[in-house]
Amino acid sequence: MEEARVSVVIPVGPGHERHAATARASVAWQTVAAVPILSFDQEGRGAGWARNQGIAQAQTELILFLDADDYLLPSAVASLLAAHDATGRYTYGDWYEYDGSDYTQRYSHPYLQSGWFNGPALHPITVCCPARWLSAVGGFDEQMPGWEMWDLWCKLAINGCCGERINEPTFVYRVREGGRRQRAEQHGEQLRALLRERYSDYTSGAKAMACCGGNSQGGASFMAQRIDIRQGEPTVGDDGLVEMTFIGDEPGSLYFKNPISGRQYRGSAGLVRDGIRTGGHRSARVHPDDVAFLLDTGKWRANAAVKVVAPQPPPLVPDASVLELVKAAQANPHVYVPNTSARRRYEALEKQDAPPGDPNHVDIQAHLPLLYAVVPAGGVVLELGTRTGFSTTAFLTAVEEREGHVYSVDIKERWGKAFDGHPQWTFIYGDSTDQPAIDAGGLNGQQVDVLLVDSDHSYEHVTREISTWAHRVKLGGVMLFHDTDQEGVRRAVDELVGFTHWPVEEHEGSHGMAVVRVDSAPFVVMDESEPTEEPAEAAAPRRRGRSVRGRG
């Protein structure tokens, strides 16, 4: 078996553990050997930290970075490795962007050493780089709130560790809105200012960057061998012409004349002064018959996004699969906190101060610490009504720390996406009083430690929920009723406590919460119209509506 020269470092960030299995499998389906390294983010320290851990673990000559929610195409490692061997540089390619329905081909820019001082967009994070280069420049800056990869590319550039683009897609990028990406965008100006200050000596000319290493002749030869790889059929505009961009590095004007049509096009990359590129002639409106001619030069690309059919994600491989790693990590909370963790969201909800009527208002906020506190070790929670998942967040935070499971029931299926994939959460779509369906959906006849009633607030529905589920609450367990400021909820709780004499605590704020503790034998709830075998003198006093009596 061939010895692997490339390690693929996959940082498993928040919410991405479900995709990590696909990323891991895409390493296994490569046409040459590669070593997958999954680096789990233990305490939310960020992708930079996780990638640095992967760099430290790697034992191979080269390292390829791959985000956990992306996956490599089968020839990616072989193509990037061949380009590195030919040029002596780190290598990168193009990619397919997947938005959940369509694949769109996207293109990286040709490498320009000084171009990194202008912004982080020359190429994506998925590059194949010598491990010793990464170690020499100190890896990723773990203190940056975003764009730590931009900082890394700048450090490599000033040290003469340059890149080379190959003209083919190497991976599939799943469009997402990660929290770290959002923070980077929020701090965009601050990060730009920080990096420009950090590298101002180089942009001003006070210090000179090291010359790019590698074999430039080999690079030219390598690219010449690859110009037959097309970028897909371009989209023709309403005027019949195709918008194309010159991607060469040449500062002077180059003229490209199609010997068949006789049409000529000009391209120029402009001049670089003080580290900033200016001028140039990049765009051209191209006749469709000339598109293939310009693509074949390797100096032009079509601007219009091209929809393509990308390979489907690779099948999961059984050997040392990521699923086994996840299970092992979850067994030791000091090693791994599940990336679907509710803890961060719980802490954010506690601090939320949006007023009523605001879309961000948390209508159960005052009671979140209570919901978190009442869940015992190994507890089973049944939540009737989950909606946007505020109460679910508190319950899940508790069971993540103390073991246990949360079952959430709601008549709106879309609320089942709140913590989709969480190993300690089961969402059951259906009516909160349909006990057989809920048992079949996962509860499976279990007794529960905590029952939250927070769905339809009408008196009739709350009493049906009590009738359906109260006998399934363990002795010593609690029944929580939210929105006791609603007449129907208030009446149902008062009747329950009046007939069972169970202790109740009333909590103010956020529409009120009643906590009823089950401190005696289970009970049944009966309609007043039902016959009773109890003698009249033993029967509990009755109120209008539904009544509750002890059993046993």
For 394-406, what is each residue's pLDDT tens digit?
Answer: 898 888 888 899 9
pLDDT given at position 545: 32
Query: Rounded to two decimals, what is the model's pTM?
Result: 0.47
Question: Sign of torsion, CA 223 226 228 229?
Answer: negative
Tokens for 398?
């508790």
Q: How confident is the model at residue 500 (pLDDT cuts 50, 70, 90)?
A: confident
Q: Do domains 1-231+319-337 and 340-550 have the same CATH topology?
A: no
Backbone dihedral angles phi then psi of residue 392, each to the nearest 5 degrees = -60, -40
pLDDT given at position 98: 82
Q: How confident is the model at residue 494 (pLDDT cuts 50, 70, 90)?
A: very high
**H helical segments located in 390-431:** 390-402
Q: Taking the CA of residue 239 as centre, how many other CA atoms within 13 Å lie in the half-sphere pointing to its CB?
A: 6
Look at 8 and 44; give whichever has higher pLDDT.
8
Q: How confident is the model at residue 242 (pLDDT cuts 50, 70, 90)?
A: confident
- Domain ranges for the chain, please list them: 1-231+319-337, 236-304, 340-550
Q: How far is CA 216 from the centre of its chain?
A: 39
For 414-426, what is each residue's pLDDT tens digit?
Answer: 777 777 777 889 9
What is the per-residue DSSP string for 222-264? HHHHTTT----PPPP-TTS-EEEEE----SS-EEEE-TTT--E
Q: How far is CA 422 from the centre of its chain?
A: 13
pLDDT given at position 538: 34
Say if strands 127-130 and 90-98 run parallel, antiparallel, or are unpaired. Answer: antiparallel
pLDDT given at position 126: 95
Q: How far apart, in whole angstroms, are the C-alpha atoms of residue 174 and residue 47? A: 16
Segment of 83-87, 172-176, 337-341, 394-398 carrying the highest mean pLDDT: 83-87
Average of per-residue pLDDT across 141-154: 84
Backbone dihedral angles phi then psi of residue 321, each to the nearest 5 degrees = -65, 160
CATH of domain 1-231+319-337: 3.90.550.10
pLDDT given at position 209: 84
CATH superfamily placement of domain 340-550: Vaccinia Virus protein VP39 (3.40.50.150)
For 272-328, what is each residue's pLDDT tens digit?
Answer: 555 454 556 677 888 877 776 787 677 887 765 445 555 666 655 433 344 444 444
pLDDT given at position 221: 33
